């Protein structure tokens, strides 16, 4: 089963449809370690579908997706830190309970780092999640994910719901906790905010990759910022 | 890992069950106290009636809560938004299912015992028949009840695992799966019994209940129930492993 792969994430002709709606269509993708990759595309372009497939939360209609050379399963889950774009924690738990739970299950979780990030963000660790605002809850979820020493980080809209000041902190957190042997895949449509930290981008449109490359090369070739390029590619 | 999952599952469910358990225990205590009082006073008999009524309502509530919780914990925690966490933890799908099944069984057993708490306590205090040590047949029957309970819970899980494979109307699909599979199993059961009967008649065997020893019927039922548990568990695990489709 386990074949050695130089790629942390590899998709081969990956296709996923929901009824008549095709979310991903024959996607080929390879992500090597050591990159911060932007997964950019408008709503409904297949960003979330790709991440859910990588975590095994949904299965491909055709083609396959491999994490470190293996199909998503219990083995791959210990290598992937996933931040979904929805609230996925039990509302009745307190912030500190959730941190302890993550420490319990993930061997690569840094408990002290998590509590220090929580204090930095001025989140009350004794508060129940149900009492927190949407943005605060998103911060807690991001702290949990970034406090792991995973190989692959999948961040689905990590800054979508938070204020601009916190955005900067979150992006710095992502960079600060990033280490060279891992790869971070960030999906977003808030390109302006993440542009400075990306070294590679994938433009996703209607389930296909329409543009891909190193950020510097793309900027040089087009003579535009990513943000401007994005507006051009996805003009309605 | 199963131990950790169980710890969190018991914690999450205890906050629903323990308050009801406490309320029922208090009511049971009150009833025993009232019965100990001379019952010629009118007020006392009215009070006994009221407390008894509340006890029955609470016990009924407990039974409903138990069923609702065992279905909703599986559906919400594994197949709802919380499934994003449960299915990205480094645990196997089998462990995730067992971590729902074991607490569900414990709470159901606990709830059933609590509903009879008053009867048990009264029996104990009034020096009634001492609790008998179960003989082989009683033990076999208790085992059968437990296996039947596990089979029922796993059957519910299997139906929800089928329902979640749909892209829309997942809960409706789960209910539909429950009804259709129950119906098919009933028909197969009746057809199977009828077939056996016919076969017996052809072979000129007499199917008198007296001819079959009780223990073999019980053992057969236990084995069949265990097999049902295994089948439901394996189908559920396969569906959640290979056909997971979280909304």
Query: What are the tokens at B32?
Result: 């025993």
The string of pLDDT tens digits covering residues B167-189 is 989 999 999 999 999 999 999 98
CB contact A56 to B (< 8 Å): yes
- The residue in chain A having the minimum alpha-carbon distance to the alpha carbon of residue B89 is A77
Structural domain for A92, as ranges: 9-233
CA dihedral of residues A146, A147, A150, A154 (deg, nearest 10): -20
- In chain B, residues with a C-beta closer than 8 Å to the C-beta of A58 are 244-246
Q: For chain B, give percent helix, strand, coil, nearest 5.
A: 80, 0, 20
> Does the beta-carbon distance from B92 to A74 stay under 8 Å?
yes
In a domain, A69, yes or no: yes
Task: Please judge whether B244 and A87 are an interchain contact, meaning their C-beta atoms are less than 8 angstroms apart.
Answer: no
Is A3 inside any structural domain?
Answer: no
A59 near B CB under 8 A:
yes
* Residue from B8, B10, B85, B161 whose CB has the most chain A CBs within 10 Å, to mutate: B85
Look at residue B211 in the predicted model and tell me its pLDDT. 63
Residues A49 and A23: beta-carbon distance below 8 Å: yes
Inside any domain, residue A4: no
Asked if A33 contacts A182 with a C-beta cutoff of 8 angstroms, the reply is yes
Please provide residue A147's backbone torsions phi and psi, each rounded to the nearest 5 degrees: -85, 0
Q: Which of A53, A57, A91 is the best residue to mutate to test the B interface, defined by the most B CB atoms within 10 Å of its own CB? A: A57
Answer whether A142's CB lies under 8 Å from A166's CB: no
Is residue B144 within 8 A of residue B222, CB to CB? The reply is yes
CB distance A88 to B84 below 8 Å: yes
Total domains in chain A come to: 1
CB–CB contact B82 A90 (8 Å): yes
In a domain, A169, yes or no: yes
Find the residue in B nearest to A76 (Cα).
B90
The CATH code of the domain that includes A71 is 3.40.50.300
Half-sphere exposure at residue A35, Cβ-oriented, CA atoms within 13 angstroms: 19
A119 touches chain B (CB under 8 A): no
Residue labelled with tokens 């899980």: B157
B→A contacts (Cβ < 8 Å), by residue, are 1, 4, 8, 12, 15, 77, 81-85, 87-93, 167-168, 241-246
Q: What is the pLDDT of residue A65?
A: 96
Contact criterion met (CB below 8 Å) for B70 and B104: yes
Which residues of chain A fall short of a pLDDT of 50?
A: 1-2
pLDDT for residue B36: 74
Asked if B78 contacts B244 with a C-beta cutoff of 8 angstroms, the reply is no
ipTM for the assembly:
0.89
Q: Which residues of B touch A20 (CB under 8 A)?
A: none
Any idea which residue has 């299997």 for tokens? Answer: B158
Contacts of B31 (CB under 8 A, 6+ apart): B48, B51, B52, B55, B118
Name residues of chain B where pLDDT drops below 70: 38-44, 118, 122-123, 125-134, 204-212
Tokens 């040089």 correspond to: A220
- Going B115 to B117 to B123 to B126, the CA torsion angle's sign is negative
**B81, B90, B168: residue with CB nearest A77:** B90
Residue A81 lies in a domain: yes
- Taking residue B35's Cβ as centre, other Cβ atoms within 10 Å add up to 16
Q: Which of A55, A59, A89 sits opposite B243 (nearest CB)?
A: A59
Position B192 scores a pLDDT of 86
Q: Look at strands A21-31 and A36-40 and give their pairing.
A: unpaired
Shortest Cα distance, chain B CAs vs residue A106, angstroms: 7
What is the reported pLDDT for A1?
A: 44
Asked whether residue A111 is assigned to any structural domain, the reply reads yes
Q: Could you report the per-residue pLDDT of A51-103, keeping only the tens digit for each? A: 999 999 999 999 999 999 999 988 899 999 999 988 899 888 999 999 999 99
- pLDDT tens digits for B44-84? 677 778 878 888 888 888 888 888 888 899 999 999 999 99
Residue A106 sits at the chain B interface (C-beta within 8 Å): yes
Answer yes or no: are the C-beta atoms of A154 and A82 closer than 8 Å.
yes
Burial of A113 (0-12, 13-18, 19+ CB in 10 A): middle
pLDDT for position A2: 46
Assess if residue A132 is contained within a domain.
yes
Q: Cβ distance B77 to B86 under 8 Å?
A: yes
Q: With respect to residue A32, please indicate whether it lies within any of the assigned structural domains.
A: yes
């Amino acid at each position: 089963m386990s074949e050695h792969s130089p790629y942390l994430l590899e998709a081969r002709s990956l296709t996923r449809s929901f009824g008549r709606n095709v979310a991903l269509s024959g996607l080929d993708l390879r992500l090597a370690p050591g990159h911060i990759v932007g997964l950019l595309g408008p709503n409904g372009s297949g960003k979330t579908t790709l991440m859910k497939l990588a975590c095994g939360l949904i299965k491909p209609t055709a083609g396959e997706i491999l994490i470190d050379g293996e199909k998503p399963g219990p083995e791959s889950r210990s290598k992937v830190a996933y931040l979904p774009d929805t609230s996925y924690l039990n509302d009745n738990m307190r912030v500190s309970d959730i941190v302890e739970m993550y420490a319990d299950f993930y061997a690569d979780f840094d408990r002290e780092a998590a509590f220090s990030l929580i204090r930095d963000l001025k989140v009350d660790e004794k508060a129940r999640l149900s009492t927190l605002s949407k943005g605060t809850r998103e911060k807690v979820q991001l702290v949990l994910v970034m406090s792991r020493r995973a190989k692959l980080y999948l961040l689905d809209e990590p800054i979508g719901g938070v204020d601009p000041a916190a955005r900067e902190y979150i992006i710095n957190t992502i960079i600060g906790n990033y280490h060279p042997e891992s790869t971070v895949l960030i999906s977003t449509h808030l390109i302006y905010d993440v542009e400075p930290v990306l070294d590679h981008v994938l433009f996703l449109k209607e389930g296909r990759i329409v543009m891909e490359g190193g950020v510097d090369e793309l900027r040089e070739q087009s003579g535009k910022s990513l943000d401007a390029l994005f507006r051009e590619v996805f003009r309605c | 890992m199963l131990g950790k999952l169980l710890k969190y599952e018991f914690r999450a469910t205890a906050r629903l069950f323990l308050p009801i358990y406490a309320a029922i225990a208090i009511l049971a205590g009150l009833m025993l106290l009232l019965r100990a009082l001379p019952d010629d006073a009118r007020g006392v008999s009215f009070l006994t009636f009221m407390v008894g009524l509340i006890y029955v309502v609470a016990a009924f509530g407990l039974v409903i809560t138990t069923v609702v919780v065992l279905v909703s914990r599986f559906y919400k925690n594994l197949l709802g938004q919380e499934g994003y966490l449960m299915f990205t933890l480094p645990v196997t799908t089998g462990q995730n299912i067992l971590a729902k099944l074991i607490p569900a069984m414990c709470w159901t057993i606990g709830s059933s015992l609590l509903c009879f708490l008053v009867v048990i306590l009264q029996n104990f205090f009034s020096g009634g028949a001492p609790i008998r040590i179960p003989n082989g047949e009683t033990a076999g029957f208790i085992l059968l009840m437990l296996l039947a309970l596990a089979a029922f819970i796993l059957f519910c899980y299997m139906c929800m695992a089928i329902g979640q494979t749909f892209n829309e109307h997942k809960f409706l699909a789960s209910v539909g799966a429950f009804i259709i599979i129950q119906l098919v199993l009933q028909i197969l059961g009746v057809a199977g019994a009828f077939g056996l009967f016919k076969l017996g008649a052809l072979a000129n065997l007499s199917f008198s209940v007296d001819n079959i020893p009780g223990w073999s019927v019980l053992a057969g039922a236990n084995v069949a129930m265990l097999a049902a548990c295994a089948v439901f568990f394996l189908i559920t695990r396969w569906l959640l492993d290979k056909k997971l489709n979280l909304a």
